[in-house]
Amino acid sequence: MSKITFLGAGSTVFAKNVLGDCLLTPALQGYEIALFDIDHERLQDSANMLNNIKKTSGSTSTIKAYTNRKEALSGAKFVVNAIQVGGYDPCTITDFEIPKKYGLRQTIADTVGIGGIFRNLRTIPVMLDFAADIREVCPDALFLNYTNPMAVLTNVMNTYGGVNTVGLCHSVQTCVPELFKHLEIDQTGVKAKIAGINHMSWLLEVSKDGVDLYPEIKKRAAEKQKEKHKDMVRYEMMLKFGHYITESSEHNAEYHPYFIKRNYPELVDRFNIPLDEYPRRCIDQISRWKQMREDLVNDANLTHVRSHEYASYIFEAIETDVPFKIGGNVMNTGLITNLPREAVVEVPCLVDRNGVTPTYVGDLPPQLAALNRTNINTQLLTIEAAITGKREHIYHAAMLDPHTSAELSIDDIIAMCDELIEAHGKWLPAYK
């Protein structure tokens, strides 16, 4: 019996998508679906939910919940990671409220920026513990990372964890469909090429029947900018830098120094930027969980339709040797030639029995590579801080972050980092 292990299985809705997909995939029948979470109540909720889908789908797979992580991982062929260390309370609240005292506002705070840095610092030690277990009990497993901050965690698992890791994000496969829907362009037969870094990959080429669609896209986007909508930051970046970005406008508002500025508060309104968006989402999800739990966990007739999540398609391609293309986050082994080799990049990858094989991209347009490098700087310094345990590298990561450095002085950045380290307490290792 082959085995898929899901770490962070208490993420019940996400587990439904990824593992529900696996239950519906013919090539994955007979697998053991191993669930692990430190929240045992949520763990059992997910097991109950998946057993309901197993029954209604007729799957021959086995669902098993584990409270011992190493046992859950033992013998796994595939491992899926969807943990969040520290949760909404206390860590997400801390990530938003302390920077706010210094005048630094955020939207999502899960990728770069001060929130992304500290989410990394509390998650990396846990990920390296996973890696130690994997090297011991399932060293040949393919590790699929869905946890943010995607680029840093995927990098750490590959570079320091010794685990074959590919990072997966929703933004690649939704980029063209959502853009074309908003601009009311038919996407049938459209050919696209996407590459860059996670949450800042670029729609490098987009055409249909050999005709470049970018002129029409930009024309319609310029018209859309005359009225408020949810994607104004990305459209502005495309109109000024030439290419559309994969991840949402609320994310990208805090990846650049141009949009959330204390001295220009009108920009937040002009570009329709939802400050403190992630805490709002957390509060909403918490308030809706009671009803969602009833609908997901206690519905014996629960069904599932295969989602667009990559995981089951990756497993299927490896099992059947029928190729499948994904956008994957992998080490930059010369794939994007004008980005650092020690960084993780997001590029098209081919999946078959050989595993996940990234494709060569070459140089990005220089302005796009330059924008990517501003975020890579912070990513690499965050890794340096986590691996060396040196507090100074936390400061370096924050001082090099585009949004943070555009808003705060060096002294304020250092003071803010010190306060965040103190507030995180046991959620962080000691930094010297």
Catalytic residues: 170
The span from the CA of 132 to the CA of 243, in Å, is: 40
The span from the CA of 55 to the CA of 51, in Å, is: 6
Size (the chain), residues: 432
Position 15: which residue type?
Answer: A
3-state DSSP call for residue 385? helix
The span from the CA of 113 to the CA of 402, in Å, is: 8
**Is 255 in contact with 199 (CB distance < 8 Å)?**
yes
DSSP 91: I
Report the C-alpha dihedral over residues 284, 287, 288, 292, rounded to 10 degrees: 130
Omega before 90 cis (within 30°)? yes
The span from the CA of 347 to the CA of 131, in Å, is: 24
**Is 357 in contact with 350 (CB distance < 8 Å)?**
yes
The span from the CA of 359 to the CA of 306, in Å, is: 27
